A and B are shown apart, each in its own frame.
Chain A
């Protein structure tokens, strides 16, 4: 149980284009999902918290107009990187919090999406 998927796993795009990354909780409902960014040999940096049915909460320094988050259902959140530039190249990881009380504080991570912007 507690499986989180991400799609695509790897994407290469040209500078200036937009890229959408999907995060799905496959066997549980997730009222809250998180989006992280990870650079090589560095830890996960929280970008934003996505709450089902409401606006995402962005961490300081993260441009909300550039990183659009939509959490339209209890099993799906999307991150759209708009007008991507080479400096946006990174490993993007989502996690989901199970709405069930027993595991409420646990976060289950997706496999990550590697974005390369040329």
Chain B
């Protein structure tokens, strides 16, 4: 079983839609949860960073962590064509520990 599972998509939505991206994990020791955005042939860019359970909001982006279900989500409100990219979830068990990445979900926002 993989440490982190993520539906690779592809996901295609109309502009303005709410997008929901999800990851599940098996290691209950994971405490730090990240979402990265990666444009084609570019390095990942950190979008959201959360510690333990709860919600975090930053502009149009909201990250949710449910440790009891081992499930994390990223919501994108009012999606824009510029949001079209691959979104990677990542997690680690503590400061300085290895990151485990999902396979990434490819998102296309259609104008």
* B43 at the A interface (CB under 8 A): yes
Question: How many B residues have CB within 8 A of the partner chain?
Answer: 25
Interface residues of B in 65-110 (CB under 8 A from A): 88, 92, 94-99, 101-104, 106
How far, in angstroms, from A4 to B99 measured CA to CA in the complex? 18
A105 touching B92 by the CB < 8 A rule? yes
Smallest distance from the beta carbon of A83 to chain B beta carbons, Å? 26
B44 touching A43 by the CB < 8 A rule? no
Residues on A with beta carbons closer than 8 Å to the beta carbon of B61? none
B96 touching A104 by the CB < 8 A rule? yes
Q: A41-B8, A43-B88, A43-B102 are in contact. Are A109 and B44 (CB under 8 A)?
A: yes
Annotate A87-118 by CB proximity to B: 1 below 8 A, 0 otherwise.
00001010101000000111111111010000
* A46 at the B interface (CB under 8 A): yes
B99 touching A107 by the CB < 8 A rule? yes
Of B6, B43, B106, the residue contacting A109 (CB under 8 A) is: B43
* A42 at the B interface (CB under 8 A): yes
Residues on A with beta carbons closer than 8 Å to the beta carbon of B88? 43-44
B103 touching A106 by the CB < 8 A rule? no
Residues on A with beta carbons closer than 8 Å to the beta carbon of B32? 105
Residues on B with beta carbons closer than 8 Å to the beta carbon of A4? 43
For B10, the closest partner residue in chain A by CB is: A41
Interface residues of A (CB under 8 A from B): 4, 6, 32, 34, 41-44, 46, 49, 91, 93, 95, 97, 104-112, 114
Closest 10 CB pairs of A and B: A109-B43, A43-B103, A111-B43, A43-B101, A105-B95, A109-B44, A112-B43, A44-B101, A110-B43, A104-B95
